[in-house]
Structure 1
Amino acid sequence: MSKLNIDQKSIRELLTEKHADFLIPDYQRPYAWGEDECATLWDDLFAFAFPDDDCDKFKRESDEYFLGPIVTFRNDDSQLEIIDGQQRLTTIMLLLRAFYDKFGNMRDKQSKQVRESIARCVWKTDEFDEPDMDRLKIDSEVASDNDKGELLEILKGDTVEPGWRSTYACNYRYFQQKITTMAGEWPSYVALLATRILNNVILLPIEAESQDTALRIFSTLNDRGLPLADADIFKSQFYKHFSSLGRKDEFIERWKALEETAADIFHPAVGTPMDELFTRYMYYRRACKHIHSTTTQSLRDFFGQDSYKMLKSEESLVDLEVLLDFWKRVDRQEGFSDRMLRELFVLNYAPNGMWTYLLSVWFLANHDEDGSCDEAALYDFLRLITGFIYAYSMERPGVNALRVPVFPQMENICDRKPVEFSAYRFGREDIASRFRAYAFTNQRRFTRSMLVWWAFQNPKQKLMSLDTRLEIEHIYAKKRTETAPLSDPSEIEALGNKAMLEKHVNIRASDYRFGDKKKYYEGFVNDKGVEKVGTDNQELLDLARTHEDFTEGDITNRTDKIIGSFVDYLGDVGLLK
């Protein structure tokens, strides 16, 4: 069982302890509190210290203001690395430093005493208990914070340079201004406010025995803001490695570029964009290590093996950069042939995200020095995984179900062996009958997957932007069945009655006859002279130009055609028995 040291303490008690030596580690995010947060803190502290603006209503023996937890662990250098509480502790230090500065111009006994107390909170002391202004109680090594030097200079020095525009400098000036205004209106309140902050504002320091324990505690306690992501921890390992090589600034620049690009192209439902990049990379490294287990480790457990050895290398950072560049080109639909982009568009509508992991493994195993791949080989691979993932996922739609057949193929990719899914090929009649029995409801992701696949089987179908919003269109409108019911009512939801249509086309429910729909498919100019753009779905355009009506027989024929074409597709890519 993990050991925890928990004991609520006043700011004075916490910061004047003999071993109070806090470190904001390199993997933390930069300081983010702005003037709004500082104003809220100031107003709260003032209202707490002077209830109803009356200093005599404060009960110094019992009144407490709880500021929150500070989650730390003591690292190998005996510093308390801050996992949670960085923002509030940094802000408190800036506030105390602003009070200290103000008390330097005040000569009354109380102000001098409070100033001495603050000094022992901000700076470490020598053996005679005298504050040493060169030794701070808090330090920052945040890798991506270019302004951390200003924080340290503000805490050590007496002034903020006019040219400083960091969040630290702005917040420090804000507190200076508030204290100066207060001294002008209620001069006797200044020392009281500082004293009550020191003695009656409470923090809950939680010292864990390890970084992992501290991170788990943070995740449990923190339901506001963003917890530290796995990628933040990984960043610290890279940072230490490159710093040891004298390449710290180079790493910071490269990591920043990774973060910006990942944020632009990845939008995961869980975790951060950088976590998504590491997840895709993890599958490649798993395959290279021939890990057979279908139970995947967490990112932190996987990359944390052997003291994060995998991340203490140039190779891993280069891999991440090359992999992210590949996905950037996929996202921007650049640098690939038209036929490749069409396959990638279809895969973006796959029933699940397993294709992104498979493709990441294939790319990293097969790219050349400039990040390019053999076009024909990649095209064949895309078609193969499209067929397999679509067919396998019809009845087993989740990513987890694909691990058993897919993980061995990832190993084959890294071993330069053929990817064939030979143990999981489909019988022609069996897969066709399963498709015919499948309920292609609008709520099922697989319905959308098949309709996009079918649209791009038309050689005339032009590429669409990945930002295009597609919705499921009933060619034979549901409303039409009110006056012209189908002999088989279930046909209204058949695959053959559905197509993908851009949201902007927006066919009105009242235009339920096929003759009415045709103008929306093709585009038209309305009564007000406004052009209504038609669809880019080539099949719907062809239907509008060649059909006067779309009947129940057309639904049946189109369903058979789609299913038959997909089964033939499976045969073409070698997935039929």
Structure 2
Amino acid sequence: MSKLNIDQQTVRELFENKKSDFLIPDYQRPYAWSEEECGTLWDDIFLFAFPNENCDDFDENNDEYFLGPIVTFKNNSDKLEIIDGQQRLTTLMILLRAFYSRFENIKDNRTKKILEDIAKCIWKTDEFGTPNKNKLKINSEVATDDDKEEFLHILKEGSVNNSHKSKYATVFRFFQNKIDIFVKEYPTYTPYLPVRILNNCILLPIEAESQDTALRIFSTLNDRGKPLSDTDIFKAQLYKFYSLRDEKEVFIDRWKKLEEICDDIFRVSSGSPMDELFTRYMYYERAKQGNKNTTTEALRKFYEKDKYALLKKEETLNNLESLANFWNDVENQNENVFSQRILKKLFVLHYAPNSMWTYLVSVYFLHYKDKDCMLNEDNFYLFLDKITAYILGYAFVNPGVNALRTPAYPEMIKIVNNLPVDFSKNKIEKNRLRKIIEDYSFTNVKPITKSILAWWMYYKKEQDLINLETRFEIEHIYAKKRQEVESSSIDKKKLDAIGNKAFLEKYVNIRAADYRFSDKKRYYRGFTSNNGKEKKGTQNKELLDLADITLDFNENNIDDRTNVIITNFIKYLDENNLFE
């Protein structure tokens, strides 16, 4: 069981402690507080220190104001690396420095004592308790913070000039202004505010025995801020590697560009967009190791092996950049990089029932890319065609979220060994697949419904490429509303048959009242309304063809279309040699 040192302390007790030697590590994010957050902190502390704006209503022995936890661990240099609490700790240091600068030239004994106490919180002291103003109690190594030196300058010198534009300088000026106003409005209260901050504002320092434990605690405690992601840790390791090569500034620039790309193209529910890039790269490295274990280890556990040895290779960052640029081209449908037929396959895969395709494609790209990071057009097309057919077919016979790992991992290993991807060890039983599809209920909530509709839309080569950002809804060609209004005897199950569904752009927005197919055709084609406003039609070529050649769409049409889709889907897998 992990050991924790937890001891509620006042600001003075925590900061004055000789063992308090704080480090904001390189993997942390830059300081982010603005005047708004600092204003809230100032107002809260003022109301706490002077209840009812009355200095005498304060109980110095019992009143406490909780500022929050500070989660740290002691690193190999005996520094307390800050995992949680960086923002409030930094802000408190700036606030104390603003007080020190304001009272520095006041000579009365009471103020002198306050200055001595503040000094012991900001600077390290010798064995006699004398502060050494060349040694701060906090340091910052944040790799992506260009202004960290300005923070340290403010703490050392207690001043800013017009050239200082950082958030640190803004906050310092803010507190200077607040203190000046406070001194003018409440001159007799002046010494009480810093004293009550030092003695009655409470922090909860939690010192963990390791970085892992500290990060777990942070994730548990923090329900407000953005928790550290795995790639914050990876950034620190890469930063150290490139610093040793005297390429620190170059690395920071490369990393920022990577972050910008990932922020644009990856949508994640937890962690950071960069985590997704490292995940996709992990599968390439796993494949090179011959690892087909279906229990995928945690991202950080994978990269931290052998003291993050993988992140200390020059090729790693190069590969990450190539991979990010590749996916950027995919997401932006870059026709200077990919042909139309490739982009159509990638469009279909975007609607795959799970994300395994992105890992397969990432491994393929990293292994087969040439010196210009391009892929052979024909080979890549055949690869995409094969995995599209298999992923969609396998989703019917093994629909579990993680089921695709079993056949996919061996194929990744084949890729890096220049072997053809054929799923030879995990082929699909043809008759079983057809029976499952024929009995399948293609409800709108099932991911495979959209997968098949996307595949079918592009099955005909005449279908033009559609922008990936287009929002589609599932259209019931024979409207549910029509079944209700006409009291149709149509089997309700057939309303959810794949033959009654198609992709339709959200902007087409057919009104529920337009339940007749003859009315729908007008929306499919697009039209100009009575007030002269143009209503754009669909880009789905099949719906446009239906509008041109079909007078009505009824139960027989549903049956015929269902049979055509299923038959061609089985044929598609057969052509890719995926059946036993």
TM over 0.5: yes
Structure 1 counterpart of 2:390, one-letter code: F
Letter in 2 for 1:53: E
Match of 1:448 in 2: 450
Give the aligned residue type for 1:476. Answer: Y
Partner of 2:287: 287
CA-to-aligned-CA distance 1:102-126 (integer Å, 9 cap, x gap): 0013232211110111111101123
Equivalent residue, structure 2, for 1:559: 562
Match of 1:508 among 504, 507, 511: 511
**1:497 is aligned to 2:508:** no
Tell me if the contact between 1:95 and 1:172 (Cα under 8 Å) persists in the aligned partners: yes
Q: Distance in 2 between matches of 1:60 and 1:370?
A: 69
Structure 1 equivalent of residue 19 of structure 2:
19
- Which residue of 2 is the match for residue 245 of structure 1? 245
The alignment's TM-score, normalised by the length of structure 1, stands at 0.99
What's the CA shift string for 1:175-201, capped at 9, x where partnerless? 000000011111222211000100111
User: What does the per-residue CA deviation read over 1:49-87, in whole Å, with 9 as the maximum and x for residues that have no partner?
Assistant: 111111111111111111111111111111100000100
Instruction: Tell me the distance in 1 between the aligned counterparts of 2:270 and 2:90.
Output: 29
Q: 1:441-465, CA deviations, whole angstroms, 9 ceiling, x for partnerless residues?
A: 1111111110110010111111111
SS of the counterpart of 1:66?
strand
The residue type equivalent to 2:410 in the other structure is P
Q: Which moved more, 1:124-133 or 1:545-554?
A: 124-133
> Would the aligned equivalents of 1:119 and 1:131 in 2 still touch at CA under 8 Å?
yes
CA distance in 2 between counterparts of 1:487 and 1:13 reads 78
- How do 1:380-529 residues align onto structure 2 when only pairs under 5 Å count? 380-482=382-484, 483=486, 485-529=488-532
Does residue 574 of structure 2 align to residue 571 of structure 1? yes
2:303 match: 303
Say if 1:486 and 1:269 are closer, same or farther in 2 by CA, change over 3 A: farther
Measure, in 2, the Cα distance between the counterparts of 1:398 and 1:193: 61
One-letter amino acid of the counterpart of residue 396, structure 2:
M
Distance in 2 between residues matched to 1:29 and 1:127, nearest whole Å: 34
Distance 1:128 1:370 in 2: 64
Alignment of 1:144-155 (within 5 A): 144-155=144-155
Q: What amino acid maps onto 1:326 in structure 2? A: F
Deviation at 1:159, TM superposition (A): 1.4
Deviations 1:468-515 (A, max 9, x none): 000000111112123151443321111101100000001111111111
**Amino acid of the residue matched to residue 99 of structure 2?**
F
SS of aligned partner of 1:394: helix
Alignment correspondent of 2:191: 191
> What SS is found at the alignment partner of 1:270?
coil
Distance across 2 between alignment mates of 1:389 and 1:270? 25
Name 1:364's counterpart in structure 2: 366
CA distance in 2, matches of 1:26, 1:422: 47
1:301 is paired with a residue whose SS is: helix
State the SS of the aligned residue for 2:552: coil
Give the superposition deviation at 1:9.
0.8
Secondary structure of residue in 2 paired with 1:400: coil
Give the alignment of 1:61-72 within 5 angstroms. 61-72=61-72
Matches within 5 A, 1:56-455: 56-334=56-334, 335-455=337-457
Q: Which amino acid aligns with 2:75?
A: N
Residues 469 and 503, structure 1, Cα contact 8 Å, conserved in 2: yes
Counterparts in 2 of 1:489 and 1:14: CA distance versus 1, 3 Å: closer
Supply the distance in 2 between the matched residues of 1:428 and 1:285 (Cα, whole angstroms). Answer: 34
Asked whether the 8 Å contact 1:265–1:328 carries over to 2, the reply is yes
Provide the alpha-carbon RMSD of the alignment: 1.1
Once the two structures are superposed, what CA deviation does each residue of 1:282-317 show, in whole Å capped at 9, x if it has no partner? 111111111231101101111011111111121111
SS at match of 2:236: helix
Q: Residue 373 of structure 1: CA displacement? A: 0.7
CA distance in 2: counterparts of 1:174 and 1:66, whole angstroms: 22
Distance 1:370 1:417, change over 3 A: same
Q: 1:354·1:399 contact (CA, 8 Å) conserved in 2?
A: no
In 1, distance between residues paired with 2:489 and 2:354? Answer: 33
- Name the stretch that deviates more: 394-403 or 555-564: 394-403
Whichever residue aligns with residue 408 of structure 2, its letter is V
Residue aligning to 2:546: 543
Q: After alignment, is 482-491 or 106-115 more displaced?
A: 482-491
Structure 2 contact 483–490 (Cα < 8 Å) conserved: no
Distance apart, 1:523 and its partner CA: 0.5
| CA apart distance, 1:127 | 3.5
8 Å contact kept, 2:478–2:500: yes
Report how far residue 25 of structure 1 moved.
Answer: 0.0
- 1:271 shift after superposition: 2.0
Deviation sequence 1:320-349 (CA, Å, 0-9, x none): 101101000000000100000000000000
Tell me the alpha carbon deviations over residues 147-173 of structure 1, each in whole angstroms, 9 at most, x when there is no partner. 111100000003101121111000000
The aligned amino acid for 2:507 is H
Structure 1 contact 74–207 (Cα < 8 Å) conserved:
yes
Q: Is the 8 A contact 1:98 1:176 kept in 2?
A: yes
